[in-house]
Structure 1
Amino acid sequence: MTVQISIVRIDGYGPWTLTRGSDREHKLQILQARLYSDVQRLFAQKNALVFFNRFDEMFAVTNGVTLGEHVEILKELLKSHNLDISISIGSGKTPYEAHLDAYRARNQKVQRNKLKVYGDTKDGDYVQIMHVDVDGSTSTVSKDLTPYEISSLIANLHAKLLQKFMEKGALTFFLGGDNFMVVANGIGSAETVELLDEVTNGMKIRLKCGIGKAATARKAAEMATKALDTIRDLRKTGKIERIFEQSCL
């Protein structure tokens, strides 16, 4: 039971930014946005899915993407971006273990090609992704809080989700708005409810969660979003569900 994580990173980014002059911040933001767009597009074509970690580093969930395909993606990125970019590949029973494997491959320079693609690919069993959002945020939270107060609430929520799920070997990413995705192989529905309750304890909000399982990350995310949409549809009929799961395995 394995999941594959690939870390796309701009190497030497900090020192490089210092060579861009003082009036650089807008240029850096544009560069980061363009790079993310290209990374997401190229991996999505392989049925993978990319999440921001930090703006100079992105995590891709890459079950089914071969080593050769990683090399081709890096070649495409280097054609468009005059940057020192590396991709590190890892796998593990949990997403956290997979990211550690990728981290070690980069640090140990485990390289099987001429480009900076570190590590190797393995056949993954499945990907489990959760799509989490704040219950009723449009009608309740937005009425009670200012836009910046909402940002503070969401940042606090993100930190709590990240910590709680990381303790279980899962990786949490903010999507924007009040939406998060958690790469969460091995965490069942009952445990998910417990974790979400622990996260929101004292926060005066509730969370709902769609869980998706599939052979690839892109399909798992689709299943998770369909599950979340199902929760919304069920509520129109008077049935309240906080967790719903869909799988195409």
Structure 2
Amino acid sequence: MIQLTIMKITGYGPWTLTLGSDREHELQMLQSQLYNKLQELFSKKNCLVFLNRSDEYFSVTNGLSLDEHIVIQKELESLFDVKLSMSIGYGENPYDANLDAYEAKKSQKFLNEQYSIFGTLNGHSEHSVTIMHLDVDDLTSKRKQKMSPYDTSSLMFKIYSRMSEYFLSKNSLTFFMGGDNFMVVTNSEFKNFAKDFIKISKDEFEIELNCGIGTAQTSRDAVKLATKSLDTIREIRDSGKEKPEIYELN
């Protein structure tokens, strides 16, 4: 089971209009500051925040209680003029948890109305989460050969779009983490998914991906293991040995 919290700025559109037309720089600063604070607060609770859109954020919050969500909301309200809603859902896979959270907010199913928290809490800490960390193998040398910075960005977004489409069909959620890094919140069939998409990236983009996989009780620990797995692939490659495409730790 996966517990997922979706955070969204409330009344954002009307609020932005109060800033006048010369507002874009202020909005970009606000969004980056808000993301920074969310990442700080949730990481202290062994969670990790993923940027879905600039006004919306996802976090896998296995084991995080309602009271802990309220503490985070209180701190955010003390720091920012804008307010956030939190929608908590859970399911057998990440996509179903996302739907559960969405439906809870849509139907106004409050867990705490004062702090705009909707949803259903799982609260069980014994359930594990699996996260993949993928990156492009040796992108630096590829860029030196034939790709400008903007060409590289364009390619990363094409890969991200294809990756998101593929993993969504497997009830998993994909997030672009910057550079050439992607993370996928997935479920028990992850090994087959990773192998299949690595082949897709070779066939469609002529790009080789590495995939580190981590499984733990919290999303921060799962990401730590996934990143350590990815680092292990690089270490094997740099040692001159034949590297695996996929490496897993739990």
Q: TM (normalized to structure 2)?
A: 0.95
Residues 153-192 of structure 1: matches in 2 within 5 Å?
A: 153-192=155-194
SS at match of 1:8: strand
Please identify, of 215-224 and 236-245, the stretch whose mean Cα deviation from structure 2 is larger. Answer: 236-245
Q: CA deviation at 1:199?
A: 3.9
Aligned to 1:246: 249
**Partner Cα distance (1:74, 1:183) in 2:** 24
Q: CA deviation at 1:84?
A: 2.4
SS at match of 1:105: helix
Q: TM (normalized to structure 1)?
A: 0.96
Percent identity, please.
46
SS at match of 1:129: strand
For structure 2, the residue ranges without an aligned partner over 5 or more in a row are none
Kindly report the root-mean-square deviation, in angstroms, between the aligned alpha carbons of the 2 structures.
1.2
Aligned to 2:224: 222
SS at match of 1:40: helix
Q: CA deviation at 1:142?
A: 4.1
Q: Does 1:18 align with 2:14?
A: no
**Partner Cα distance (1:7, 1:61) in 2:** 9
TM-superposition CA deviations, 1:9-37 (whole Å, max 9, x none):
00121222112100000000000011001
Task: List structure 1 segments (4+ residues) > 6 angstroms apart after TM superposition.
Answer: none
TM-superposition CA deviations, 1:55-113 (whole Å, max 9, x none):
00000111111111111111110110111211100001111110110101111111122
For structure 1, the residue ranges without an aligned partner over 5 or more in a row are none
Q: Does 1:111 align with 2:110?
A: yes
Residues 40-189 of structure 1: matches in 2 within 5 Å?
A: 40-113=39-112, 114-122=114-122, 123=124, 125-189=127-191
Contact 2:131 2:184 in 1 (8 A): yes
SS at match of 1:112: strand
